[in-house]
Chains A and B, each alone.
Chain A
Amino acid sequence: MKNINRRSMLFRAMALGAVSTLPGCDYEDPAHPDIADKFLHAMSAWNDRVQEALFDPHTLAPTFRAEQITNPPRFNAFYDISQAPVVDPATYRLELGGQIQDKSPWTLAALNALAQTSQITRLTCVEGWRVIGEWEGVPLGDFLRRIGADTTCRYVSFKCADGYYSSIDMPSALHPQTILALKFLGAPLTPPFGAPVRLRIPTKLGFKNPKSIMQLAVTNIYPGGYWEDQGYNWFSGS
């Protein structure tokens, strides 16, 4: 079930902004979500459903040539690059939770031993800028099937070393271009770009590509996300 209050705080902040230009609305009582809150929340949920219906698992995101790769790559997070979390690759374990048969944690070596795929795709930020990069890793669909995940569940959720979290719909998780990336530009991921493991999903906006993933879970309970809970559209597919 989608949490009724998942966005109310965020939307209040948003609505406040909107209302500064919409005279006649009052947002002074935080205990009662106002009409603009409810309206935006409902429309965003509707847009989630429309995007789920529009999603074709066989439509691929465009791919690019090596010379089109953005150089130098662009760092982006909700903190400065110096604050990027540093995870020790030797002791790293990817923890699994939720509707998964084999929840044994995965070492980096074990993930690297799985069949890998690489892609040169465009990462588009919700802000409008975009970069082209090369990522290599394990197709998430292969990984989910290998660990005995219930792929009839609605969500795959991710928790990161920096406190970031996000979640995606199962059809997008099973898309052939959705990977648990271990390499970026031909070398193992570095901390600013999501070491040791990040999600790379070119059919969604940049903020749906969580970095430095520590936990992965499969669930039917809406997990939300760091930005999603602040008002960004949850599906945010492209």
Chain B
Amino acid sequence: MAEKKPRRRVIHPWPLRLTHWLNALAIVMMIGSGWQIYDASPLFAFTFPPLITIGQWLGAAIAWHLAFMWLLVFNGLVYFIWSAASGHFAKFFPLSPRAVWRDFTAALTFKLPHQTGVYNAVQKLLYLGVLFAGVVIVISGLAIWKPVQLWFFCDLCGGYVAARYVHFFAMAAIAGFFAVHLLLVAMVPKVLPPMITGGRMEP
């Protein structure tokens, strides 16, 4: 039998790449329109500049928001199901506070090398955190959208008034992740092409 050439493993399988980019689109649309919705009745003493919001008035922003929520949710469900079925979630574990601290201090002193296909402890924590924020933002969003019919989500958030704050802070967490994520990609640009092409593990 002919000797088989060892196949190099794909760094990012196609379901991960597809859901990643669809999620990126959904997040930009949801946050951009969400900021415009926020501006109609701000929770805090600031508003988002219209230049960086989506939809020129409240009605448009809500229409975009309630259109793209379907992409966010269904794409998210596909990601969760695929990750559970494929074993992708195993890459986030094991995770210990000690390891997070070790990798965090190493990263701050630029001593943390990028290992292709392996998540360091800080990455694991950030990814788990943003996934959690994603679940929270969907639940609180449903609570705000349908507080009567989906009252259990509203109760889970501590009531309608609290749900708006929960939704806001989940957005802030996701936006913060987004900023750090883009910064890290800018610092280690070689990680970008594999998220488009899939890439191959170095032999």
Q: Chain A residues in contact with chain B, CB under 8 A? A: 10-11, 13-18, 20-22, 39-40, 43-44, 47, 51, 54-56, 59-62, 122, 124-130, 202-203, 227, 230-233, 237-238
Contact = CB atoms under 8 A, between A and B. Distances in A.
19 contacts: A13-B57, A16-B56, A17-B56, A21-B32, A21-B54, A40-B64, A51-B146, A54-B146, A54-B150, A59-B148, A59-B149, A60-B148, A62-B147, A127-B40, A128-B38, A231-B60, A233-B63, A233-B66, A237-B146
B77 interface: no
A122 B147 CA distance: 11
B70 interface: yes
B58 A54 contact: no
B63 A43 contact: yes
A43 B66 contact: yes
A165 to B, nearest CB: 16
Given A127-B40, A127-B41, A128-B41, A14 B67 contact: no
Contact of A128 (B67, B147, B164): B164
Nearest to A204: B148
Contacts of B59: 10, 14, 227, 230-232
Contact of A232 (B62, B67, B146): B62
B151 interface: yes
Given A20-B56, A128-B37, A238 B67 contact: no
B146 A128 contact: no
B76 interface: no
Contact of A17 (B52, B55, B147, B150): B55
Interface string B45-85: 00000011111111110111011001000000000000000
Contact of A13 (B60, B66, B145, B149): B60
- Identify which of A14, A47, A56, A227 gathers the most chain B CB atoms within 10 Å of its CB: A14
**10 smallest A-B Cβ distances: which pairs?**
A17-B56, A14-B60, A128-B41, A43-B67, A231-B59, A127-B40, A127-B41, A40-B63, A238-B148, A129-B41
Given A21-B54, A126-B62, 12 more contacts: A16-B56, A17-B60, A18-B56, A18-B60, A21-B52, A40-B63, A54-B146, A124-B160, A128-B40, A130-B161, A233-B66, A237-B146
Interface size class, chain B: 20 to 34
Contact of B56 (A13, A39, A54, A202): A13
A21 B60 CA distance: 12
Interface in B148-199: 148-151, 160-161, 164
A127 B58 contact: yes
Nearest to B57: A17
Nearest to A203: B148
Contacts of B58: 126-127
A236 to B, nearest CB: 9
B55 A238 contact: no
A70 to B, nearest CB: 12
Contacts of B66: 43-44, 47, 233
Contacts of B67: 39-40, 43-44, 47
A233 B62 contact: yes
Nearest to B144: A128
A62 B159 CA distance: 10
B63 A44 contact: yes
Nearest to B28: A21
A42 B44 CA distance: 33
A22 B55 CA distance: 10
Given A43-B67, A127-B41, A56 B149 contact: yes
